[in-house]
Amino acid sequence: MGERRSLIDGIKTAPPATPTAREQEFVYGKTTQVPELAPASSSSADIASTPFSTRIRADYAEALKRASLERQLKKLKPCTIREILEVSLEPWLKANGYLP
Mean pLDDT of 88-92: 95
CA 74, CA 22: separation in Å to the nearest integer? 42
Q: Residue 26 has what pLDDT? A: 81
pTM for this model (two decimals): 0.53
Say yes or no to pLDDT of 3 above 50: yes
| Percent of the chain predicted with pLDDT > 90 | 49
The DSSP call for residue 97 is T
Q: Which is more confidently placed, 8 or 97?
A: 97
Looking at the chain, list the stretches that DSSP marks H as alpha helix, in order from N- to C-terminal side: 7-12, 21-28, 58-73, 81-95
